[in-house]
């Protein structure tokens, strides 16, 4: 039976240029998608852009462009960012595409046909920046008398005819669902927030707008466009070819995991399952949310001029180096601060001096002392066996960490083995064995190759380019670079290409 895995990023608002906050969730999703492919799954990895709503309409007007021209441009920029960050997405969805408009209309019809939509009048607060409705109790009043949302976004008073979704009736079903699916929301702190929010009672949700028209028309309701979050969330089913049951990706629904930022948990963990249940569709298995990045401890903002552009960062430090940093520097669910010195420290201590150095030392000794040929596997000492055992345990350990999105812990486990390898090479001193016991020297070097191979294999999702080069140098054929392939030993005596460093030290110029 095929093991399938469907992973998504949020779809990004096209009101401005991509920054590292966007790149981060995308890189995490890419790491997961690549890992699952490596681990034998048939993967569908989706990213894309969220193009409707007032926020985007306003940004287009400010740029002096019609919304479609504007969104075409900004969406193309996000697509370029995805490519430059090495994303292996299988599809890139835009909410302005016909396939998506059709899926949204159908989802609306099904929710309506099941009796969960009614026409009414909305009167209340709305924050365009968050594209969210707020209760007065959620707002705070600034010293100047203006009211702001919990996110700090300004709110305005909105009064308009609107269709409503009967969210208030879903409280018990949602609470039961969370109880029956304890892994639905991660991390646990977010799960607790969601559960207490739902326990506090839910209001019916306004799901159409009538005061602007940059949105997907509500079926058979002239003047109404869909609330942008209903439109946006639907992207995840659109991309599976829904509602066509014969679409090639139909089997991927429900998604295995939505990776999102912590600010949009309510939409994904409350509204989305309720919409899906109301439409009679299965609910995704998990919503895992990431914390926010600051830059040197400061919130990124255009006014502070500290917005970090991910493509520039990759061009300066190297793509794999940047991907590694993001996955290693902080736990996925937690907030964290990025800075150039922190990035350089990770590059130099863990990549250049860590895995890079271990590989370079081992491979250059083979090049010099073994005629560049892979030594055959000899008799194992207890020390050899201990190191190999630790290295061979990595796939199982990494699998468990990936399934819980504790990427930094997966890397920490890999690094324990790199450090063990460093200790091993220092103690065994193969360079000294050359004169005293050439056979043992060869054994030691082969143990090192067989240790570095699983390390490089499990690191491929994080640093695909560099690990590909390292596996080339270890002589690992492309068809056995996945987890299953680790069971196939390397061929004794195979000629290895001349070693070349994969991670240069970063030196400020």
Q: Contact positions toward ligand MSP, by CB under 6 A?
A: 10-13, 21-22, 24-25, 50, 232-233, 235, 260-261, 263-264, 292-293, 300
In the complex, least distance from residue 235 CB atom to ligand MSP, rounded to whole angstroms = 6
Closest CA to 414 of 474, 328, 487: 328
CB closer to ligand MSP out of 207 and 442: 207
In the complex, least distance from residue 316 CB atom to ligand MSP, rounded to whole angstroms = 19
Structure tokens at 121: 């009048």
Please identify which residue in the block is written with the tokens 């018990």: 172
Please identify which residue in the block is written with the tokens 């699998």: 399
Distance in angstroms (rounded) separating the CA atoms of residues 319 and 130: 31
In the complex, least distance from residue 149 CB atom to ligand MSP, rounded to whole angstroms = 14
**186 Cβ partners below 8 Å, 6+ apart?**
286, 287, 288, 289, 333, 404, 405
CB closer to ligand MSP out of 9 and 357: 9
Neighbour-count burial of 250, counting CB atoms closer than 10 A to its CB (0-12 exposed, 13-18 middle, 19+ buried): middle
In the complex, least distance from residue 360 CB atom to ligand MSP, rounded to whole angstroms = 34
β-sheet bridge partners, residue 133: 126
In the complex, least distance from residue 129 CB atom to ligand MSP, rounded to whole angstroms = 9
CB closer to ligand MSP out of 209 and 453: 209
Q: 464 in helix, strand or coil?
A: helix
Structural contact between residues 346 and 306, judged by C-beta atoms closer than 8 angstroms: no
CB closer to ligand MSP out of 178 and 293: 293
CB closer to ligand MSP out of 225 and 232: 232
Structure tokens at 359: 């590989």
In the complex, least distance from residue 506 CB atom to ligand MSP, rounded to whole angstroms = 23
Distance in angstroms (rounded) separating the CA atoms of residues 348 and 441: 29
CB closer to ligand MSP out of 334 and 500: 334
Distance in angstroms (rounded) separating the CA atoms of residues 498 and 307: 41
Closest CA to 505 of 274, 371, 326, 317: 317
CB closer to ligand MSP out of 50 and 320: 50
Distance in angstroms (rounded) separating the CA atoms of residues 436 and 185: 59
In the complex, least distance from residue 168 CB atom to ligand MSP, rounded to whole angstroms = 23
In the complex, least distance from residue 44 CB atom to ligand MSP, rounded to whole angstroms = 16
In the complex, least distance from residue 78 CB atom to ligand MSP, rounded to whole angstroms = 9
In the complex, least distance from residue 79 CB atom to ligand MSP, rounded to whole angstroms = 14
Distance in angstroms (rounded) separating the CA atoms of residues 251 and 474: 38
**21 Cβ partners below 8 Å, 6+ apart?**
261, 292, 293, 300
DSSP-derived secondary structure letter, 349: I
CB closer to ligand MSP out of 37 and 258: 258
In the complex, least distance from residue 190 CB atom to ligand MSP, rounded to whole angstroms = 12
In the complex, least distance from residue 213 CB atom to ligand MSP, rounded to whole angstroms = 19
Closest CA to 164 of 258, 275, 37: 275
**363 Cβ partners below 8 Å, 6+ apart?**
449, 473, 474, 496, 499
- Burial annotation 450-475 (CB, 10 A radius, 16+ → b, else e): bbbbbbbbbbbbbbbebbbbbbbbbb
CB-closest chain residue to ligand MSP = 261
Distance in angstroms (rounded) separating the CA atoms of residues 263 and 265: 6
CB closer to ligand MSP out of 129 and 373: 129
Pairing state between β 4-13 and 257-261? parallel
CB closer to ligand MSP out of 11 and 406: 11
Please identify which residue in the block is written with the tokens 């370029």: 80
Structural contact between residues 410 and 397, judged by C-beta atoms closer than 8 angstroms: yes
CB closer to ligand MSP out of 261 and 421: 261
Please identify which residue in the block is written with the tokens 């991660």: 186
CB closer to ligand MSP out of 261 and 475: 261
């Amino acid at each position: 039976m095929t093991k399938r895995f469907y992973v998504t990023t949020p779809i990004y608002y096209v009101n401005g240029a991509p920054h590292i906050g966007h790149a981060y969730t995308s890189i995490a999703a890419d790491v997961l998608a690549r890992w699952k492919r490596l681990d034998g799954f048939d993967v569908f990895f989706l990213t894309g852009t969220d193009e409707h709503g007032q926020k985007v309409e306003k940004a287009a007007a400010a740029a002096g462009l019609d919304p479609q021209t504007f969104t075409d441009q900004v969406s193309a920029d996000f697509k370029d960012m995805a490519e430059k960050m090495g994303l292996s997405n299988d599809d890139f969805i835009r909410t302005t595409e016909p396939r998506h408009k059709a899926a949204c209309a159908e989802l609306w019809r099904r929710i309506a046909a099941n009796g969960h939509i009614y026409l009414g009048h909305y009167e209340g607060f709305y924050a365009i920046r968050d594209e969210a409705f707020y209760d007065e109790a959620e707002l705070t009043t600034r010293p100047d008398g203006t009211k702001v949302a919990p996110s700090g976004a300004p709110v305005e008073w909105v009064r308009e005819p609107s269709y409503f979704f009967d969210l208030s009736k879903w409280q018990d079903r949602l609470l039961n669902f969370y109880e029956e699916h304890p892994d639905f929301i991660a991390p646990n702190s977010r799960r607790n927030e969601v559960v207490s929010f739902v326990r506090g009672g839910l209001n019916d949700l306004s799901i159409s707008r009538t005061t602007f028209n940059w949105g997907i028309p509500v079926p058979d309701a002239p003047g109404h466009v869909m609330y942008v979050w209903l439109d946006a969330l639907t992207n995840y089913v659109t991309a599976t070819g829904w509602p066509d049951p014969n679409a090639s990706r139909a089997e991927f629904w429900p998604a295995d995991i939505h990776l999102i930022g912590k600010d949009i948990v309510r939409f994904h963990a409350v509204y989305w399952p309720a919409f899906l249940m109301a439409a009679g569709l299965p609910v995704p298995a998990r919503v895992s949310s990431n914390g926010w990045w600051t830059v040197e401890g400061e919130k990124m903002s255009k006014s502070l001029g500290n917005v970090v552009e991910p493509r520039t960062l990759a061009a300066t430090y190297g793509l794999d180096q940047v991907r590694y940093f993001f996955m290693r520097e902080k736990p996925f669910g937690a907030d964290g601060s990025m800075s150039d010195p922190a990035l350089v420290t990770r590059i130099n201590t863990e990549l250049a001096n860590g895995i890079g150095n271990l590989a370079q030392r081992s491979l250059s000794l083979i090049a010099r002392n073994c005629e560049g040929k892979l030594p055959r596997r000899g008799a194992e000492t207890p020390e050899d066996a201990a190191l190999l055992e630790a290295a061979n345990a990595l796939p199982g350990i990494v699998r468990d960490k990936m399934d819980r999105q504790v990427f930094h812990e997966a890397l920490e486990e890999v690094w324990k083995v790199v450090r063990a390898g460093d200790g091993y090479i220092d103690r065994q001193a193969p360079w000294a064995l050359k004169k005293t016991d050439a056979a043992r020297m060869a054994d030691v070097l082969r143990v090192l190759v067989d240790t570095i191979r699983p390390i490089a294999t499990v690191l491929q999702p994080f640093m695909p380019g560099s690990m590909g080069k390292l596996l080339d140098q270890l002589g690992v054929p492309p068809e056995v670079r996945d987890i299953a392939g680790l069971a196939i030993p390397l061929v004794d005596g195979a000629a290895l290409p001349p070693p070349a460093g994969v991670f240069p030290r970063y030196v400020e110029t």
